[in-house]
Structure 1
Amino acid sequence: MSKMERNGAPKHDVALARRPPMPGKATILAMGKAFPSQLIPQECLVEGYFRDTKCQDLAIKEKLERLCKTTTVKTRYTVMSKEILEKYPELATEGSPTIKQRLEIANPAVLQMAMEASLACIEEWGRPVGDITHIVYVSSSEIRLPGGDLYLASQLGLRSDVGRIMLYFLGCYGGVTGLRVAKDIAENNPGSRVLLTTSETTILGFRPPSKARPYDLVGAALFGDGAAAVIVGTDPIPGKECPFMELNHAVQQFLPGTHNVIDGRLSEEGINFKLGRDLPAKIEENIEEFCKKLMEKAGLVEFNDLFWAVHPGGPAILNRLESTLKLRSEKLECSRRALMDYGNVSSNTIFYVMEYMREELKRKGGEEWGLALAFGPGITFEGILIRSL
């Protein structure tokens, strides 16, 4: 297994927030992230992918080259390596039943990344691990009993009575779902501190390219691996904790009749995905009403008066959102930057966006209110009205 690269958010001095948090409202107190050590520049992906899968189809190769350009991704991290393919050559063989082998790789890989991200987050937080009262673990990349939540809690040295919640197979909206769950826990358990960790790898979906499965090429051009962690709690302790974002109000909504637009199935070969071409259009048709539902909680009416932390599922979704809401181009800059630097890392990506947003707001100041948004299977919308502190 490749050694994971710990890449936590920079250490911040404990200081008073610019804006005090509202009493009893959940806040984000620290962040961390981690990645596999293997970084792949997008311009090197096609040759490596076709070499590893032994595909000779030039038409498929040309299509992947076009997709790699349109995704806007520049770099991605990946667990998959030459060493893994040498040990498990059947992963590159069409039709091979390899779910056992994939889980042998994925289960420890996501745990290792989750550990690194959690440790980086706890280090930034600056308090003992024994002060963590709850853990929320999110992953669409591992399958086992007990789940990664127990392994993570044990390896971090958390208390044996820590409250654990495991969120499996939510896909791209899982990070915001985890934030909503952590928010509810923190606000209903005064004094609690919730560690939310997400970890994802594309191992379960890796396979040789095929004309019969065009979405595999989209996945190869777009998705990456990594982990992220945040600590959530209410009423931060002055002098000990530095909140930087308040989770003010959360909403989840599914779009009736769209459950087949994003379709993922677990088989003997791993996870097979089908992505409907109408996904960006479905989001475009419903996003304005969804955002207004969140904004009305703070009496907000103008989209450009907010900052935007949007999960970058792909450039088409970001472009549709920007056009529909008539957002100024800079409003989605943090989302585009996260997509460019990491690709779509499923549930984790929203935290990479939020980290860029944190630094942007700290450097330039700016809007008090913003929205954190993610979209995934269902079609499910997850949104949180957030407040910069």
Structure 2
Amino acid sequence: MTLRREPVLLAVSSAAPDTTIGQTELFDGFYSQLYSGVPHARRLFIDSTRVQRRHFYWDPRRAYSDGFPPTGALMDAWEQGALELGRRVVPAVLAGHDPATVGTFIMVSTTGYTCPGPEVRLAAELGLRSDIRRISIGHMGCYAAITGLRTALDALAARPDELVLVVCTELTSMHCQPDAISEQIIVQGLFGDASAAMLLGTRPADRPVGHPTTDHPSAGAPACGVSADVVATRTVTHPGTAEHMRIRVQEDGFRLCMSPAVPAMLGSTTPPFVDQLLEGSGLGVADVRHWAIHPGGPRIVAEVGAALGLSEAQLRPSMEVLRDYGNCSSATVLLVLQRMLALDRPEAGDHAVLIAFGPGLTTEAALLRF
């Protein structure tokens, strides 16, 4: 009889571009001129976002000094940046594992597109198998890391003796738009650049999950072992809400629209969604000690946290990542997971929920057990 195997999150890693710019410095050095005709632009850009610094592959102060490049130039730059960050996150997350055991490579991004994608060159450069199964998950938004996670679970169900690599790379800095409106000021004040990776495998069902490693780095550090069972995942898309958050690819690049109604909507829809995620686990919200909530903005974290009755300490990983990185689209929830591991140091038997939101409006989540 073949012993059933359970999916396990084995490691996470992250990297960000070396250029770090403080929010005030960035506004004064570039955006103050771009938004000079908008009342309260400085308050919207700095105070309302709660971001203090971000990492940029393209420094807006130089990249847009001579105008705004067309979409083709943006995609060329995205590919090069995705390769550079991938060369850092993939070796880190694979440390201690045989690359030949990785059977599936899932590449996630909302901020760029090339065919073939950067995962083809990364696989070749980093010694992954030539017969590796490649999956590209594109243009799904900030929740797509969890889309990548549940796609990995499907691969593990079919081939439990292999490992699955998931890489989320987002370079939002090349999607600046000149529209001098309040919505775009907040968007340009929120988003930053980063890459994050997960490695998943399986364990025999009769063997308990290993303890998480004790030397958890913070978000942005090379890698850390996790050893967490993936207990459940869940997805929901709310009908009639698509226009509240959307991304369109146009001649002059990508355009993101985000309604100010989104935080309140997520505050009302998230508690019943989490109840459904936890259904069958024997857990209630109060039983989950650790939370990695995607910081789409400070109001989203505040509304969702209040609706779930979470403490300031439970929201701290999300708010610290927002402060230090901004919203890095799909990579962000994995940055929060790394920060959560560093701050909370989960113990064996603890549970965590990873939850992210994006266009649709769509919510995705995963329940982990350490």
- Using the size of structure 2 for normalisation, the TM-score is 0.88
Say if 1:328 and 1:367 are closer, same or farther in 2 by CA, change over 3 A.
farther
**Structure 1 runs not aligned, ≥5 long:** 1-21, 92-96
Tell whether the 8 Å contact from 1:136 to 1:164 is kept in structure 2 after alignment. Answer: yes
Which residue in 2 is equivalent to 1:369? 351
User: Aligned equivalents of 2:261 and 2:61: distance in 1?
Assistant: 38
Aligned residue-pair number: 352
2:331 pairs with 1:348:
yes
User: 76, 90, 93: which is aligned to 2:54?
Assistant: 76
1:266-281 mapped onto 2 (5 Å cutoff) = 266-281=249-264
User: Aligned equivalents of 1:47 and 1:254: distance in 2?
Assistant: 39
User: Aligned equivalents of 1:84 and 1:99: distance in 2?
Assistant: 18
Offset of residue 305 of structure 1: 3.9
User: What per-residue deviation string (whole Å, max 9, x for no partner) do you get for residues 47-92 of structure 1?
Assistant: 12237xx53x534374134331121112110011379638x8231x
Tell whether the 8 Å contact from 1:172 to 1:347 is kept in structure 2 after alignment. Answer: yes
1:145-224 mapped onto 2 (5 Å cutoff) = 145-211=115-181, 214-224=182-192
Aligned Cα root-mean-square deviation (Å): 2.5
User: What per-residue deviation string (whole Å, max 9, x for no partner) do you get for residues 306-352 of structure 1?
Assistant: 31111111110111112112222211111111111111000001111
Please state whether the residue corresponding to 1:90 is helix, strand or coil: coil
User: Aligned equivalents of 1:272 and 1:82: distance in 2?
Assistant: 16
User: 227, 236, 245: which is aligned to 1:244?
Assistant: 227
User: Aligned equivalents of 2:86 and 2:255: distance in 1?
Assistant: 24
Letter in 2 for 1:378: G
User: Aligned equivalents of 2:61 and 2:160: distance in 1?
Assistant: 48
1:99-110 mapped onto 2 (5 Å cutoff) = 99-110=71-82
**Which stretch of the first structure deviates more once superposed, 310-319 or 75-84?**
75-84
Offset of residue 38 of structure 1: 0.3
User: Aligned equivalents of 1:200 and 1:129: distance in 2?
Assistant: 24
Tell whether the 8 Å contact from 1:99 to 1:268 is kept in structure 2 after alignment. Answer: yes
Which residue in 1 is equivalent to 2:108? 138
Which residue in 2 is equivalent to 1:295? 278
Tell whether the 8 Å contact from 2:12 to 2:226 is kept in structure 1 after alignment. Answer: no
Which residue in 2 is equivalent to 1:10? none
User: What per-residue deviation string (whole Å, max 9, x for no partner) do you get for residues 5-62 of structure 1?
Assistant: xxxxxxxxxxxxxxxxx962211112211111100112211012237xx53x534374
Say if 1:61 and 1:41 are closer, same or farther in 2 by CA, change over 3 A.
farther
Tell whether the 8 Å contact from 1:121 to 1:229 is kept in structure 2 after alignment. Answer: yes
1:315-354 mapped onto 2 (5 Å cutoff) = 315-354=298-337
Offset of residue 227 of structure 1: 0.3
Tell whether the 8 Å contact from 2:29 to 2:61 is kept in structure 1 after alignment. Answer: no
- Using the size of structure 1 for normalisation, the TM-score is 0.84
Letter in 2 for 1:120: A
Letter in 2 for 1:274: C
Which residue in 1 is equivalent to 2:220? none
Q: Percent identity?
A: 28
Say if 1:300 and 1:106 are closer, same or farther in 2 by CA, change over 3 A.
same
